[in-house]
């Protein structure tokens, strides 16, 4: 996923389906310097972590 699209998803008022390793996730923040996103699984908000943007897939 590119940085611009990830930022659009973060700012969207609508929930957009994004997957990480086959699991639905929520993007909390995009780090443009590191090209990463702070994410957590939709059903496990306590499992927050940073991952490379290119590992995220929009569905």
Domain assignments of the chain as residue spans, ordered by start: 3-58
CA distance linking residue 5 with residue 18, whole number of Å: 11
The pLDDT assigned to 48 comes to 97
Tokens of 17: 């389906």
Tokens of 20: 């990480």
What is the topology classification, in CATH, of domain 3-58?
Answer: SH3 type barrels. (2.30.30)
Task: Tell me, yes or no, if the pTM score tops 0.85.
Answer: yes
Tens of pLDDT, residues 13-48: 999 999 999 999 999 999 999 999 999 999 999 999
The DSSP output letter for 5 is: H
Confidence tier at 12 by pLDDT (50, 70, 90): very high
């Amino acid at each position: 996923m590119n940085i611009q699209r990830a930022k659009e998803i973060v700012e969207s008022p609508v929930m957009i389906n994004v997957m990480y390793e086959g699991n639905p996730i929520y993007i909390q923040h995009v780090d443009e310097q590191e090209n990463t996103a702070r994410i957590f699984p939709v059903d496990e908000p306590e499992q927050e972590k940073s991952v490379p943007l290119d590992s995220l897939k929009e569905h």
